[in-house]
């Protein structure tokens, strides 16, 4: 086990894991060495221990892994966004209003949509729907006549009819033209239903945003109209005396845009187009800047794909300033503004807590005497190991390099001899053991020697432990696997102790891609994460933070590992309350997703077991126990159960 060292203090833990950089004031470390979440209790903010939340969850019968949702953080993010624009509007004497919308696709869970509409009500904060199912969900929860429902994505007749009928009932539904062909169908359906549509048009900017999703904006975007297509739509509407229906200009620069200069440049370009549409005679009045407001996953506050070189206040102020300058110059009234900020609103909302199930690391060999007739190459490595164990040997740069080169040479020769049949499997095993122990010594003294990058990379593997976490990367953190998205990871307890192990975190999917080996700690990027030495019978818990955006809805059923348990918590009158406890997928539920019928599976297994009884391989009593165990497995959690 790691021991508390005299030089390690809590401030070191905060610096190492960067919790005060990416935590945005929502997460911190307590005097007990535990991660806390700062939740609002009336007018006070109280730190709540994540380990305490997990303990309470376990007392209620739930197991790890668990996704913990904090509605209070979602509320505060909505408030910060809306108040940020309100302050920027007041300071700049901007003459439009802000009416943001939450894009449902970022996290479609019912609880999220319910919380967004409840917390956003006082700001007339709306929803963005990119599909018919999302629109159906939006219409059930968004019934504020002053809030917008923005309809993006591909639209069939049923989608359009539903939007127009909602508009007829008094809701502010805007149908955004994403492709030229949509306009004719919208106008046709609006004539049949007797409703003049509120139209928006999405343009393809030439200003790109950068980051992972830069191609979702700019001229390479799949959706949106180029300027010539926009003018064709304007002419068509004018010919039908319906140009007044064009109310909104929309663009989408990308998600998680790291640079504020790119955001400002896009706002300038869009404002120029907006002014041009007003000058063409369109009614307009609304400018929708789409998504892109970033958060700092890595805490470095830079312009990398996982970071942002700006904060929410600067974002709001720069957008307002850029648009007001262009519209004032043209003498055009300031438009009302919409943003579709989803990631920045909901990312902090969820934390995944997992436990470590097992460890794989190099352990020194216990061989102190060679068997008779051991091959010379194995003896050479044995002698090399004796040299590294010598306390009288002076360690120099030359010695470290010499030992390294000799160990690699002997190991490679042993493997060659094994392939030729001249060395047995056990002899090769001994040679490999000595090799790893020698390289462990080299790694300990690597700072003494000037090793090449290739040599350093070889040594990095020796220094690395593999911790197996009770989770599926593909289910809970798909962006980590697919696009190398960074997520903050750290222990949620034992932070008064110095972490001594360099770790790659693996999931339990038995897939080589199911691992996390890219981290930010100590203000730098690393391929390992510092964690504590542990014993398997001790529960060691890690938190994976900022997972509220996209991860729940993008996750797949790799190895048929389903949704985790979910707990929603809040603090009220000083007491922790568990608002919702959603059990994760059972084995039978996951199997139904891939077209198995659990009753049929059980029937088939009972037939197999009865056949084993007939062959006298098992008794009838054993059959009952085996069948009961199989059916209990169908009802169980897909993750490791203690």
Residues involved in catalysis: 510
**C-beta separation of 150 from 174 below 8 A:** yes
- Measure the N-to-C terminal CA separation of the chain; round to a whole number of Å: 22
Distance separating alpha carbons of residues 634 and 550, to the nearest angstrom = 29
Q: Can you spell out the DSSP letters for 420-466?
A: TTSS-HHHHHHHHHHHHHHHHHHHHTTTTS---HHHHHHHHHHHEEE
**Chain centre to alpha carbon of residue 36:** 20
| Rounded Cα gap, residues 460 and 449, in angstroms | 15
Maximal C-alpha separation, the chain: 100
φ, ψ for residue 511, nearest 5 deg: -120, 135
Closest to 74 (Cα-Cα) out of 30, 28, 50, 107: 107
Is the Cβ–Cβ distance between 167 and 198 less than 8 Å? yes
CA-CA distance, 172 to 147, in Å (whole number)?
A: 6
For the CA atoms of 447, 452, 455, 459, the dihedral, rounded to the nearest 10 degrees, stands at 30
Closest by CA position to 384, among listed 372, 400, 398: 400
Helix, strand, coil tally for the chain in percent (to 5): 45, 20, 35
Helix H or strand E segment including 287 = strand 286-288
Query: For residue 295, what are the contacts with CB-CB under 8 A and spacing of at least 6?
Result: 22, 24, 256, 308, 343, 344, 347, 348, 546
Tell whether omega for the bond before 405 is within 30 degrees of 0, i.e. cis.
no
Beta strand segments in 488-573, E: 489-491, 501-506, 515-516, 519-521, 524-526, 529-531, 541-544, 565-572
- Residue corresponding to tokens 């438009």: 335
Alpha carbon distance 553, 561 (integer Å): 14
Q: Dihedral sign, CA of 212, 218, 219, 225?
A: positive
CB 35 within 8 A of CB 543: yes
Q: Any idea what the Cα angle at residue 114 is, between residues 102 and 79, rounded to 5°? A: 55
β-strands 541-544, 565-572: how paired? unpaired
Residues 6+ apart with CB under 8 A from 527: 460, 464, 504, 517, 518, 519
Q: Is 194 left (phi over 0), alpha (psi -120 to 50) or beta?
A: left
User: Any residues with CB less than 8 A from the CB of 113 and at least 6 apart, and which?
Assistant: 102, 104, 127, 137, 138, 141
Torsions phi, psi for 68 (to 5 deg): -100, 125
């Amino acid at each position: 086990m790691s021991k508390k060292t005299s030089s390690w203090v809590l401030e070191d833990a905060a610096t190492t894991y960067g919790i005060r950089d990416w935590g945005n004031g929502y997460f911190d470390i307590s005097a007990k060495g535990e991660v806390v979440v700062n939740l609002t209790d009336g007018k006070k903010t109280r730190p709540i221990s994540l380990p305490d939340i997990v303990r309470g969850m376990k007392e209620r019968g739930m197991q790890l892994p668990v996704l913990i949702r904090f509605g209070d953080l979602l509320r505060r993010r909505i408030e910060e966004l809306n108040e940020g624009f309100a302050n920027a509007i007041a300071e700049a004497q901007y003459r439009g209003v802000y009416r943001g919308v939450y894009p449902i696709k970022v996290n479609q869970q019912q609880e999220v949509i319910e919380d967004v509409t409840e917390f956003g009500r006082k700001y007339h904060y709306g929803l963005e729907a990119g599909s018919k199912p999302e629109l159906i969900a939006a219409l059930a929860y968004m019934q504020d006549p002053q809030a917008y429902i923005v309809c993006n994505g591909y639209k069939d007749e049923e989608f359009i009819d539903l939007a127009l009928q909602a508009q007829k009932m008094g809701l502010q539904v805007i149908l955004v033209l994403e492709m030229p062909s949509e306009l004719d169908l919208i106008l046709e359906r609006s004539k049949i239903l007797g409703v003049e549509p509120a139209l928006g048009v999405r343009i393809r900017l030439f200003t790109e945003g950068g980051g992972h999703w830069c191609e979702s904006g700019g001229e390479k975007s799949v959706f949106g109209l180029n300027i010539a297509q926009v003018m064709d739509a304007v002419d068509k509407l004018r010919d039908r005396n319906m140009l007044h229906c064009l109310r909104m200009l929309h663009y989408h620069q990308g998600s998680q845009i790291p640079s504020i200069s790119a955001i400002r440049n896009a706002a300038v370009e869009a404002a120029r187009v907006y002014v041009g549409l007003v000058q063409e005679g369109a009614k307009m009045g609304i400018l929708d800047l789409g998504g892109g407001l970033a958060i700092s996953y890595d805490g470095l506050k830079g312009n990398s794909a996982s970071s942002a070189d700006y904060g929410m206040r600067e974002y709001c102020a720069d957008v307002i300033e850029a648009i007001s300058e262009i519209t004032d110059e043209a003498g055009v009234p300031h438009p009302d503004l919409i943003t579709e900020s989803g990631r920045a609103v909901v990312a902090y909302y969820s934390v995944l807590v997992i436990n470590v199930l097992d460890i794989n690391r190099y352990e020194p060999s216990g061989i102190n005497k060679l068997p008779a007739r051991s091959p010379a190459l194995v003896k050479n490595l044995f002698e090399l190991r004796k040299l590294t164990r010598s306390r009288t040997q002076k360690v120099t740069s030359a010695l470290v390099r010499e030992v390294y080169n000799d160990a690699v040479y002997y190991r490679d020769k042993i493997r060659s001899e094994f392939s030729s049949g001249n060395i047995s499997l056990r002899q090769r095993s001994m040679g490999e053991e000595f090799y790893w122990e020698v390289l462990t010594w080299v790694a300990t003294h690597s700072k003494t020697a000037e090793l090449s990058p290739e040599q350093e990379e070889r040594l990095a593997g020796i220094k690395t432990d593999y911790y197996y976490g009770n989770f599926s990367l593909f289910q809970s953190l798909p962006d980590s696997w697919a696009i190398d998205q960074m997520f903050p990871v750290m222990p949620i307890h034992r932070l008064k102790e110095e972490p001594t192990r360099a770790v790659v975190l693996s999931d339990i999917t038995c897939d080589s891609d199911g691992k996390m080996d890219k981290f930010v700690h100590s203000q730098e990027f690393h391929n390992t994460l510092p964690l504590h030495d542990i014993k398997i019978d001790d529960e060691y818990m890690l938190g994976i933070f900022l997972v509220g955006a996209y991860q729940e809805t993008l996750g797949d059923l790799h190895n048929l590992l389903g949704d985790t348990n979910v707990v929603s918590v809040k603090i009220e009158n000083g007491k922790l309350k568990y608002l919702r406890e959603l059990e994760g997928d059972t084995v039978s539920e996951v199997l139904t997703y891939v077209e198995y019928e659990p009753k049929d599976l059980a029937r088939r297994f009972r037939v197999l077991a009865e056949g084993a009884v007939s062959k006298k391989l098992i008794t009838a009593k054993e059959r009952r126990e085996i069948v009961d165990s199989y059916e209990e497995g169908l009802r169980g959690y897909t993750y490791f159960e203690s």
